[in-house]
Amino acid sequence: MVSEAESAHPDFDELLAVLDLVQRDDDTYLGAHPSKNPVRTFGGQMMAQAFVAASRSLRHPVPPSALSVHFIAGGDPQLDLEFHVVRLRDERRFANRRVDIMQNGQLLTTAMVSYLAGGRGLEHGVVAPPAADPATLPQIDDLLAGYEKVVPHFANALRPIEWRYTNDPAWIMRDKGASLDHNRVWMKARGAMPDDPVLHAAALVYSSDTTVLDSIITTHGLSWGHDRIFAVTANHSVWFHRPVRFDEWLLYSTTSPVAAESRGLGTGHFFDSTGQLLATVVQEGIVKYFPARTTGSASP
C-alpha cells in the first residue's frame, strides 16, 4: 500500500504508462507518448522505451551493462513509436540487442543494449562531489517561478522526476551574470516505483537525457531561454555499473570536457546517497549559439 506522502504525481503515472509497452509480436513493441510533449519526441523517452523493449525480450534475467543510442530523425509526438528488437546474442550471462525505433516506416533512432552478469571483481570509482542534502534544497517549481516565459519548454514539460539543483540552474545563473563548469542535480521518481529492476534502470535512462548538456552553455555563462541557442542530441550512451533504485535520491553530476565545431560533449555520473557510482553517461549534442547583434552606425 502506498501512503499519501508516497502517492505518485500524475506526470510520474504517465511515465510508467509510456514505459508499459504494448507487445505486438515476439520482437515488436508499440510505445505511446505522454500528454505533454516538446515539438519532437523527447530523446530520453525513446531511449527508455527502447531499453524496456530490449529488456523484455531477454530469455534470461541478465542485468544491463551498456546502452548506446544514435538519433537519426526526430519523432512526431502525435504518433505511436514502433520498437523493432533484433536478438544478437542470448546466453545466461551475456546478451545483446539492437532496437530500431520506427515511425511511419522511417528509422528515427537505433539503440544497442548490452547485458552482462559479471560477478564480483575489482572495484573502484570516481569520488562523488560534495552536494547538499536534497531535503534542504528548493524544488524545481520554486526555481522556475518567475521564469515561466523565459524557459517555457521547461516550465510546461512533463516532470515525472523530482529535481533538486545543488547549484543555480542555467536561467538563474544567467540572471546573476555568472558561469559554471558543472551542474549537479539530485533526482528521484515522483512516486513509488514498481519492484522491477528494468523500470528502475529505464527511469535512469530517461533522466540521463536531462541537464547533461547544460554545462556546455553554463561554462560560457549562457542559458536556455535567455540566449539564442539551438541544441539537439546526436548520440547518447549509458554504462550501468551497479543496480539502480530510482525511488531513492541519486545525484547526477555533469560536466562538459569539450565543445568545438558546433558540437559539445556532456559527461555525467549518477551516484547514490552513499557516494557509490551507479552509472556513467556521455552525450554528444549539436549546439549552436547565435549571439545577439549589436547596433551601431553603418560603415560609410
pLDDT in tens, 182-199: 999 999 999 999 999 999
Indicate left, alpha or beta for 146 from its phi (over 0: left) and psi (-120 to 50: alpha): left
Number of domains present in the structure of the chain: 1
The answer to whether residue 125 is domain-embedded is no
Q: What pLDDT was estimated at residue 119?
A: 86
Q: Angle at CA 209, nearest 5°, toward 206 and 215?
A: 150
Q: What pLDDT was estimated at residue 191?
A: 94
The answer to whether residue 130 is domain-embedded is no
What is the distance, to the nearest Å, from the Cα of residue 33 to the centroid of all Cα atoms in its chain? 16
pTM: 0.93
The answer to whether residue 295 is domain-embedded is no
pLDDT lower than 50: segments of the chain: 1-5, 295, 297-300
> What domain range is 240 assigned to?
4-118+138-289
For 54, what's the count of Cα atoms within 13 Å in the CB-facing half-sphere? 34
The answer to whether residue 44 is domain-embedded is yes
Q: What pLDDT was estimated at residue 187?
A: 98
Quick one: which of 187, 205, 186, 217 has its CA closest to 43? Answer: 205
The answer to whether residue 236 is domain-embedded is yes
Q: Torsions phi, psi of 218, nearest 5? A: -70, -25
Q: What pLDDT was estimated at residue 57?
A: 96
Cα dist. 231→70, 177, 224, 283, 290 in Å? 15, 22, 10, 12, 11
Q: Torsions phi, psi of 71, nearest 5? A: -95, 130
- Single-letter amino acid, residue 92: R
The answer to whether residue 218 is domain-embedded is yes
pLDDT in tens, 137-186: 999 999 999 999 999 988 999 999 999 999 999 999 999 999 999 999 99
The answer to whether residue 198 is domain-embedded is yes
The answer to whether residue 300 is domain-embedded is no
What is the end-to-end Cα distance of the chain in Å, rounded?
77
Q: Which residues contact residue 91 at a Cβ distance below 8 angstroms, ignoring those fewer than 6 apart?
A: 60
Alpha helices (H) in the chain, listed in sequence order: 10-19, 43-56, 140-144, 152-155, 170-175, 197-208, 214-218
Q: What pLDDT was estimated at residue 66?
A: 98
Quick one: which of 209, 193, 210, 185 has its CA closest to 244? Answer: 193
**Can you give the CATH number for the domain in which 204 is found?**
2.40.160.210
